[in-house]
Structure 1
């Protein structure tokens, strides 16, 4: 395919990764960002073997291993009885896979530094509202209706609230989810926690408290943890009005070990309220726009797939542009490559979410007793690990990827980057 001039809406991880990958394959790229300065949004996230493999193709896996915290296990218990509710271990799968918990700032900084290092252009302060075809080009318009750029292809990586996605012919139906979460990134000094596990406490499905070791935002900084507490979004004002001390007392009643974290919170402004919605485009393409990441599909973070799905989208789109004969064929190939994987994990997330964030007492009872028991029996342990890993069906081949050799990579994760560079399987 000829060299394309590509406009990328959004300078988040998906947009930055797309710019890097496509520029390395000879395309001319430009990023347009609505904020005056591109910056990370949110607290911590889990990079699964899927997202880590994409970062490896970009040559950025080793820096992320240095910054992140290796996760071997997802563990959850009933806050009142202490009964184990969830225990998913990556080692239930062969090959040495693991997760990597990172601060969103670490992922953003690593990608942004790589973009800046090669001088890729980033236009900031541009709020994009529409894409129109004119003279064979996809023309992006800003909030004033002015032309922001004309391109052979537009990639929308502007997130779940994308105006480009909402105004496209592929616009998905949006189901706002009742539950969201307060998030904060906090110091771990004095905290009794497992440095290699995401640990959660539950009270039915109405309360979920979690601690995720999240590593460092940059070299030289201290390790931190991501702390979250789920809530009905509609109850937020009531919680705020009741006061911070009452909220803290409630958490301590459930999980006293959280005290060193709560001591650091003196103002509601230190907490970010995350709101979730379930939305999936039937086809992540509309004319000359390709949608990646949350603009194409988003849901609750129960399965920890969001950033990983976005990185897989970018890899699949880049592979399609590399191998197809023309742009129409490439966009069709991209949609086909991601169809099954996205559909499966969107469905799984939609099904799993009510067991952990809902008003249903019955679903919580089933989770704590029936599901927790079944999950401890083979082959369910491996099945759950493959769901968490994002590898229940093969996500790599359709995106033109070779999965990492995790035994070789693991040395870097264990030694925080002191081992040799990871090998790649062929």
Structure 2
């Protein structure tokens, strides 16, 4: 296989995973990132069996579990205490399967350390503004430095705000306030569940265990509160205690966490977009992760889809004969799964984030009862695990051995 010079724009999970995989194939890799120091953005996320299939092949599954927290189910209750989301991984049919709640900094650290161990070059402090194509290859352009030398291939892993796609970004009406907070013995949370509470679909509060960051001793949870973008300015002008009272009214147990939020600056407002870049390739360039496809976080698939994209790209580059064929293979192996999750996420998001009364009525009176009956319970488990649509087989991946992973973690 010809050794390629490859530039990766973006130092998130998609960019780092692609860098590790492609460096292992012998290609010359350089990552470019806008921040002075590469780092994560946001609080917690879920690593699903689909993403773990990639981390397992990278040899990083054990370290990911060590820094994260095992999640055995998703549990959501409406404001009167009725369960409207009850999705255990045991319904998946994979022995011992579970999700992993993890701080973005922890997942970033696992991947960054692996990239640094391979000696992959990372250039920081320059925001990518575009690219140019000439006979020598594709060059990245920046806001404050000269363009790069020509690369055989540029990978766009810059996220949904990518400058390489001029189409409307499809920013969603609802975002969320996030905070990473320490947990203490006696806190009234299960510890192995992603727990949520809903008032219709207009308000949602959730708690996700996200493990212990490297170098720290206290486990944390990600606390999140659904909020419309249009209402953020009003929230910022509202006394913090008044907002806390609103959250407590929906889920009184969150009071112990709210007491640990002393400053508004502890909360980050995350904005989401639902978009797909068509097509994700152009000459000597491909988009992966959120730069290709982004959606609301309701199914918790962002990082997992990015990892699958990185794996598919590496496999396409390994198996294709020409560069065009390599990129075409990478896209073809991922296209159906991307389309499916874009469609399902668009369908399900209003059930949990909308101002209507009929969306949550469908959720509570129809979908919730059906989800407890086979085969709907199995389909629900496949959806949340990232395995709906059977994405792993075409990529040559398999679900990791969760029982062996758990046994290894218990011995360490």
TM more than 0.5: yes
Q: What residue number does 1:6 align with?
A: 6
Q: What residue number does 2:177 align with?
A: 182
Q: What residue number does 2:101 align with?
A: 101
What does residue range 51-66 of structure 1 map to in structure 2 within 5 Å? 51-66=51-66
SS of 1:247's partner is helix
Q: Would you say 1:73 and 2:67 are equivalent positions?
A: no
For residues 170 and 298 of structure 2, the distance between their equivalents in structure 1, rounded to whole angstroms, comes to 16
Instruction: Between 400-409 and 296-305, report the one with greater CA deviation.
Output: 400-409
TM-score by length of 1: 0.94
SS of 1:351's partner is helix
Q: Would you say 1:298 and 2:294 are equivalent positions?
A: yes
How much is the aligned-residue C-alpha RMSD, in angstroms? 1.3
SS of 2:365's partner is helix
Cα deviation, 1:213-241, whole Å, max 9, x if unaligned, reads 00012154321000000011101111121
Contact 1:210 1:227 in 2 (8 A): yes
Q: Note the C-alpha offset of 1:143.
A: 1.8
Q: What residue number does 2:386 align with?
A: 390
Q: What residue number does 1:331 align with?
A: 327
Q: Would you say 1:89 and 2:54 are equivalent positions?
A: no
TM-score by length of 2: 0.97
What does residue range 367-406 of structure 1 map to in structure 2 within 5 Å? 367-406=363-402
Q: What residue number does 1:422 align with?
A: none
For residues 313 and 15 of structure 1, the distance between their equivalents in structure 2, rounded to whole angstroms, comes to 10
For residues 402 and 252 of structure 1, the distance between their equivalents in structure 2, rounded to whole angstroms, comes to 42
Contact 1:65 1:412 in 2 (8 A): no
What does residue range 189-200 of structure 1 map to in structure 2 within 5 Å? 189=184, 190-200=186-196
For residues 260 and 24 of structure 1, the distance between their equivalents in structure 2, rounded to whole angstroms, comes to 46
Q: What residue number does 1:15 align with?
A: 15
Q: What residue number does 1:250 align with?
A: 246
Contact 2:9 2:158 in 1 (8 A): yes
SS of 1:352's partner is helix
Unaligned runs of 5+ residues in structure 1 are 167-171, 420-426
Q: Would you say 1:310 and 2:306 are equivalent positions?
A: yes
Q: What residue number does 2:261 align with?
A: 265
SS of 2:274's partner is strand
Q: Note the C-alpha offset of 1:120.
A: 1.1
For residues 246 and 234 of structure 1, the distance between their equivalents in structure 2, rounded to whole angstroms, comes to 19
Contact 1:179 1:357 in 2 (8 A): yes
Contact 2:298 2:345 in 1 (8 A): yes
Q: What residue number does 2:219 align with?
A: 223
What does residue range 157-176 of structure 1 map to in structure 2 within 5 Å? 157-166=157-166, 172-176=167-171
For residues 70 and 412 of structure 1, the distance between their equivalents in structure 2, rounded to whole angstroms, comes to 14
For residues 148 and 329 of structure 1, the distance between their equivalents in structure 2, rounded to whole angstroms, comes to 25
SS of 2:275's partner is strand
For residues 44 and 353 of structure 1, the distance between their equivalents in structure 2, rounded to whole angstroms, comes to 19
Contact 1:67 1:219 in 2 (8 A): no
SS of 2:347's partner is helix
For residues 40 and 204 of structure 2, the distance between their equivalents in structure 1, rounded to whole angstroms, comes to 25
Cα deviation, 1:277-309, whole Å, max 9, x if unaligned, reads 100123321211111111111011000000000
Q: Note the C-alpha offset of 1:393.
A: 1.4
Contact 1:315 1:400 in 2 (8 A): no
SS of 1:163's partner is coil
Aligned residues: 410
Cα deviation, 1:20-41, whole Å, max 9, x if unaligned, reads 1110111110000111111111
Q: Note the C-alpha offset of 1:145.
A: 7.3
Contact 2:161 2:169 in 1 (8 A): no
Unaligned runs of 5+ residues in structure 2 are none
